[in-house]
Amino acid sequence: MEQTYEQLVRLLSQSQNMNYENGVETIIKPIPDADVTGDLDPRVLAVIKGYAASELETSFDLASARASMGWPNRDVTTMDIATDHVMIPSADGDIPARLYRPRTEETLPAILFFHGGGFFGGTLDTVENPCKLLAEKANALVVSVEYRLAPEHPFPAGLNDCYRALEWVHERAAELGVSRDDIAVAGDSAGGNLATACCLLDRSNETNMIRFQALIYPVVNLGSIPTDDYEWTLDRYEIKHHHDLIRGVVMALGDSEDLLNQIYLQGKAELTDPLVSPLFADDVNGLPPALIITAEYDYLRLEGEAYARKLARDGVPTRLIQYRGMDHAFMDKLGDFPQAEDCLIEIANGMKEMTR
């Protein structure tokens, strides 16, 4: 009998078989309604086949690429979450942000969320429902930041906006009704990059504002440059079915690396600058506890795993969760993919646990 979305979410929440690999707490979450391995989740497969049947752009067009991002996800919250639109003052121009808050008078933790989109796209609308659910599950104020995008605003403009938003929340903690000792950063893809880069800045500035970081399939090695502990190879992906299709899914982001370099950096930094590629930080001692979430069939999975190992080697409490059968950007499909809801629940649980 086919299981409902809610049943699949419950099944995933029970998948807590944890082991230690290279010092990293690691959880592998299976496809909740299939025993098969080495294949795409049936929901991912349906979406990918839909893409394959449509006209695909053969050359990069910025406006089209931006318009194609995101997914019409659903609000799955079970309580009323208040939404406020604010402008965060900054010397570089005010930064739009949205605040999502459970209706409570108690002092809350805060989570700054940075959306994905390759540093050149993505919107607050795409991540609104995920941020609302995160606010509910973590019982936290979630601050979704509309940082400046490349190519109009190359590195480090977007990062500066994210860090400024972090400062603002820390400075205004009492007014915002949050605990300045319980502030986290989170983000998906490029937003995960910006989140952990904020942690590096927080450490170098000795401001100690961040207590927890949650990185959802983060970009941490913009050029996929080999290191002593990382070399990208398709051999690391278990592919038993739909071979050509899955290879195409995995390689999709691999083709974009040089493009992101040109659009985001524009010669203003090296690919190995730790604030561009955190995997190249000399050390990550003293960074806040981390939760890294990866998708099995995502080009970025291997660098996310390498970053988890790097954090763990330097003494940072690190948990890695991999979702079997998933591809990049699955969080956007909240309400359709049960893994999207589960990963936000895991972030909420991780924050509660690691900031106790």
Instruction: With beta carbons less than 8 A apart as the criterion, state whether 162 and 147 touch.
Output: yes
Q: Is 312 exposed, middle or buried (0-12, 13-18, 19+ CB in 10 A)?
A: buried
Euclidean distance between CA atoms 276 and 349, whole angstroms: 28
Nearest to 333 by CA among 54, 113, 64, 43: 43
189 is catalytic: yes
User: In 3D, which of 173, 184, 192, 199 has the Cα closest to residue 137?
Assistant: 184
| Annotated catalytic residue, options 189, 204, 224, 277 | 189
- Find out whether 115 and 187 touch, Cβ atoms under 8 Å: yes
Give the single-character DSSP code of 213. E
What are the DSSP E strand ranges found in 42-151? 81-88, 95-102, 108-114, 141-145
Q: Pairing mode, if any, of strands 18-21 and 290-297?
A: unpaired
Q: Residue 251 has which token pair? A: 């390689």
CA nearest neighbour of 162 among 223, 117, 97, 207: 97
The DSSP 8-state label assigned to residue 264 in this structure reads I
**CA separation (Å) from 54 to 49, 57, 274?**
9, 10, 38
Given a contact cutoff of 8 angstroms between Cβ atoms, the answer to whether 145 and 188 are in contact is no
Q: Which amino acid is at 39?
A: D
Residue 133 gets the label, from left (phi > 0), alpha (psi -120 to 50) or beta, of: alpha
Residues assigned a catalytic role: 189
